[in-house]
Each structure stands twice: as C-alpha cells, then as structure tokens.
A and B are shown apart, each in its own frame.
Chain A
C-alpha cells in the first residue's frame, strides 16, 4: 500500500494517541514523513526513528503490559507499517524496566521477525530497510514523557526537553521521530487491513474506535476492558465492573490515573470519550479508572498521589521540582488533621502554577487530581 494511503487511512479512521495526549496519529506520521523526505541522508545512515513507548508507568495502568505479553507480533507489525509510511529505517521499543516478561516476549518476537526476513535490510525483498532495537527503562515515571525517553536512550539524565521543536522534526539523536504508545500502535494493523470505515463501527463520530480501560479499586470485577468509546462510566463501573461490594456505595472515581481527575457519583453518566470527559474537566489519560467506595479515606489517596509526583519529579523546572514537594507536605498535614488556615488557597495557587508553568506534562498534571477533589469538595482543607 502506498505510504500516503496509510497516513490518509489513519486520519480518516480518526485514530488518536492512547499515551495520554490524544494527538492525531496520522498527523504525527505525516509530519515525520515530510521531514524525512526533506532531509537527504547518505545510504546506511538513520533516516528517522519509530519508537514504541512501552514505559507504561501511570498509576493504575496495565493495558500495554497485556498487549505486549499476549500479542507482541502485532506491535512489530505496526512498527513496520509506520516505518514504511514515514520512510524511517530505525526502530526502538522502550519497555518499562519493571516489565521483564514483556521485554522477553517482545525480544523473542523481534528475533522471530528477523529470522523470517520481516526486519532487516531488505524486508521480504521489498527494498524496505527497518530494524528494531530493544531498550529497557530504569524505573523513572518521567522517562515515559517522549523527550525524556529520548534523552534516556541518548545516555543522559531522563529530563524532558523544551518543546517546540517536536520529535517529528527533532527527535531521537536529532532525527525525525514518530513516537507512539503501545495501544495506539496496536490499533494500526486493523485499520490498514480493514479500512477506516471498519474502525469507525465502534466509538463516536469524534472519538472513533475502541479503548482499553484499566478498571481497579473498589469494584467486584477489576480488570482490563475493551470498550467502544462513548460507553457511559456508569456501565463500566456497574455493569462490566460489577459495582461495589455489598453494603458499599460509590464515593468517587479517578479517571486517567494519578494525572487524571476525580468524578463524583453525580457524574457517572458521562460517556467515556475524549470530548465528553474533557467537558466535565477530566481526561481519558492512560485509560485508568480507579474506583473508591465510601470506606476509602480520600485524603490518604491524595497523600499517595502527591507523594508519587514528589518522588517522580525530575527536578528540571522550578514549579514542579519545588511545588510537588510542598504539595506533598501540605497534603500530608491536612491528611493527618493538622491543616493550617490558608492551606486551601496555597494548594490552589500551587496547583494552578504547576499546571500553567511547568515544563512537561508531569508537573502540568501533578495537581490535577487534587484540584478536582478540592473543587468537588471530596476533600477539604482549611
């Protein structure tokens, strides 16, 4: 299939990234393809990179692990398609360090593909050159951020770069780079094989397709669910997830992981698609839905979340380096009933500052759950 056709199909299918930012995949591939075409590179050198972001570290998220462990060949197929579509000749799968089984299965699948001439200098005698290198992360959440991930591959501290420029023009080792999440890539072979109309039989007009949701917390049947986008949150929690344990009632759901937002029992009818979630101040994020029944102390949940961000901040930019620490401290004292007057306002100012002024998505979302919880009075500070 001609490369323009692949990109056109992805755009028509309306596929957007599943790594958190929901960026249109076709547009991303097109940007890299143009840049690679514009740069003439001597034969044998890297033209550009296809990176599979398999660093999955968002709290409550385990969808990519299942895809990698159970269907590794699909990812390799998607990466070969991407390589062909944008004319990149190098690939990297960056797997979270704590996922040894996924790493082994993917490594074996890469070996299989090489042995069967599906990777290498002349794939199936088509003239296409593409090979994949496996890399393991070292445990930092921030290394899932695309530019920190590239810094880490290049051998430096895993700190995000200032954007723009974006990876499609200045990516790994300065080369045009497509970086996609595991789940995003897993959608590609189906779209290329069956076409955009097939894909659009699921989901809504503006959020086509299906989505993997990692359901955890106080539900009877936690687990990984593939839903057609637009399914109401209530159906997910009460039909698929089986609802709360006997005698318990729903207190709140955290949608999108630690970087996401809390929704209240009154908001359960929100359809799980990008636009509807944004409209209620939430995001789909990584697809994590954590459910808390009335027995859970939400201040201790907030304590865990703010501790997570203080621990994972890379320390590069001041608002997050200092703000995640202060946020954790103030939440800790509020959680232990020692809040001081002015804490509420301080947390709001801190949260807005981190959201607005931080360099990368980590700091920008480090207060997201807390701000939503304060806003909805799920927790209260003096």
Chain B
C-alpha cells in the first residue's frame, strides 16, 4: 500500500497506509499514553486516554485505533488533550480501586490528577466507588470487580480475540456496566475452560490467580484440583509462565 504523510506535533511523518496515529507517533519517538489498548486485542477505543487533537475535527480522536490519512495534522499533547486525559483518569480513580494498577497510577501522577474532585461525591448520594462483590467461586481465579476498569480485555480474551469460549460477557449499562457471566452463573457453571487468558490480560488485578490471591490475603493454600501445571503471574506482573506447584518452570 502507498505510504501516507502527515504531521505530528509539527514534524512530518511518512508511514505505511493502515498505520494508526499511535504507531505513527512512535516512529518519531512520541509516546501516546494508553489504558485499554493492548497489541493482542482488537482496539475498541474505550478509555479515550489516548485521544489526540486533529485539525478540522470537531472532537478529539483515539490514537490507538484511528488510521492515518494524508495531510492529517495531529497534536498529541495540547492543553485540550491534557484536560481530557486528566479528567478521565480522575473519573477512573473516583470509581475504581486502582491500587494494583501501577501503570494507571503512574499516569495519574503524570497528569497531576486531583484525587478528590470526583471522589467523595458519594457522601451525598448513593454511589461513590463501584461497590461490586468479589467472586471467589472457583479453584483457579478470583474476580474482584471493584478493581475493574471495564477495558473489555477479559471478555475479548474469552471471546473472539483468543479463546472462543464466551464465558464472560458484559451486563448493565452506563455506570452500572459490569463484566458478567450469562445469567450471572458462577464460573464452574459457565463454559469457562480455565485457560487463564483473561487473568493474564487483566491490567488491574481484578482477575487474579486463586493462589496468588490466597497468598496475598495470608490465607492457607487450598489443594489444587486440576493438573500439576497452570499459568501463574510472575512477580513483575507482566509475564506469564507455566509453573508447577512449587513455583518451578
């Protein structure tokens, strides 16, 4: 395909057609922050933290999914962009327990997010944080949806991006949107095959291996009902390895 030329922060960039604005920016060393984006998953442009300003566009555009076009003029860090990013991060912080999402916490600091602006709203009304129950319903992983940012990765992993199992889906709408199972059935009663892809994909610790969670809680480990090897998260939270019960590869 023919190359496309555009301007990013005043620099001219030429990239192959089909490249996203985010990828194009990277070729000149400009990093656009992302939250919901993951290279292994279909980009649905949910979080809008990656928005950038595009000349002649009424609204900001998501850099993670928007493909470049000739003569686009893009600004990745304008005041308008920074305001949106900061507000979205503040909103997330006001609704979700982000304590185990270090990348998002780092963004909160970078954008000087104000902790209290939207938090505490619940003092006069019913809702502050999303107060969702922790599901401890199977031997392999727990689901703590008070930490869920609704990035959809687990649903995508369980669905057409990896596993085609469709145990996880979305329920509710607006602020009440949540990851659910069909008819809210406990995991053992769903189609879940315990592949662990959702747990691996979760960026916030909402989904977590059962044993990791038990150790964190200082609770005694339960005997494992399944085969000797399973996926576990390594300490740095990034990489997945197959480990046996003693933690050996």
Contacts and interface: CB of A to CB of B under 8 A. Distances in A.
Interface of A: 140, 157, 162, 310-319, 321-326, 329-330, 332-333, 338, 342, 346, 349-350, 352-353, 355-359, 364
A332 B48 contact: no
A346 B170 contact: no
Given A333-B125, A355-B59, A357-B60, A310 B48 contact: no
Nearest to A318: B47
Given A319-B88, A352-B83, A352-B84, 4 more contacts: A162-B44, A357-B48, A358-B59, A359-B48
A325 B175 contact: yes
Given A162-B44, A356-B80, A319 B174 contact: no
B104 to A, nearest CB: 11
A313 B48 contact: no
Sorted nearest first, the 10 A-B pairs with minimum C-beta distance are: A315-B177, A325-B175, A322-B91, A353-B87, A313-B174, A357-B84, A357-B48, A329-B121, A353-B84, A315-B173
Nearest to A364: B59
19 contacts: A140-B173, A162-B65, A310-B174, A310-B175, A315-B173, A315-B176, A318-B46, A319-B91, A321-B177, A322-B91, A326-B118, A326-B121, A329-B127, A332-B124, A350-B87, A353-B88, A357-B59, A359-B46, A364-B59
A55 to B, nearest CB: 16
Contacts of A140: 173
Given A162-B62, A321-B150, A322-B92, A349 B87 contact: yes
Contacts of B94: 322, 326
Contacts of B117: 342, 346, 349
A314 B174 contact: yes
Nearest to A165: B67
Contacts of A324: 174-175
A364 B51 CA distance: 14
B172 interface: yes
Nearest to A352: B83
Contact of A321 (B49, B124, B175): B175
Contact of B48 (A157, A315, A358): A358
A349 B83 contact: yes
B94 to A, nearest CB: 7
A246 B60 CA distance: 47
Contacts of A322: 88, 91-92, 94-95, 118, 175
A381 to B, nearest CB: 13
Contacts of A350: 87, 91, 118
Contacts of A323: 87, 91
Contacts of A349: 83, 86-87, 117
Nearest to B36: A318
Interface string B38-51: 00000011111101
Contacts of A313: 173-175
B125 A359 contact: no
B214 to A, nearest CB: 31
Interface in B82-127: 83-84, 86-88, 91-92, 94-95, 117-118, 121-122, 124-125, 127
Contacts of B86: 349
A95 B47 CA distance: 31
A329 B175 CA distance: 12
Interface string B162-175: 00000000101111
Interface in B116-140: 117-118, 121-122, 124-125, 127
A157 B45 contact: no
B96 to A, nearest CB: 9
B1 to A, nearest CB: 16
Nearest to B50: A357
A317 B45 contact: yes
Contacts of A315: 150, 170, 172-177
Given A326-B121, A349-B83, A352-B84, A359 B174 contact: no
Interface string B188-214: 000000000000000000000000000
A319 B87 CA distance: 8
Among B44, B117, B127, B174, the most chain A Cβ lie within 10 Å of the Cβ of B174
A314 B173 contact: yes
Nearest to B48: A357
A317 B61 CA distance: 13
A171 B174 CA distance: 25
A157 B170 contact: yes
B118 to A, nearest CB: 5
Contacts of A310: 174-175
B124 A333 contact: yes
B148 to A, nearest CB: 12
Nearest to B45: A162
A356 B84 contact: yes
A316 B46 contact: yes
A352 B172 CA distance: 26
Contact of A332 (B51, B65, B125): B125
A89 to B, nearest CB: 29
B68 to A, nearest CB: 12
Contacts of A358: 48, 59
A352 B127 CA distance: 23
B59 A318 contact: no
B101 to A, nearest CB: 14
Nearest to B80: A356
Contacts of B172: 315
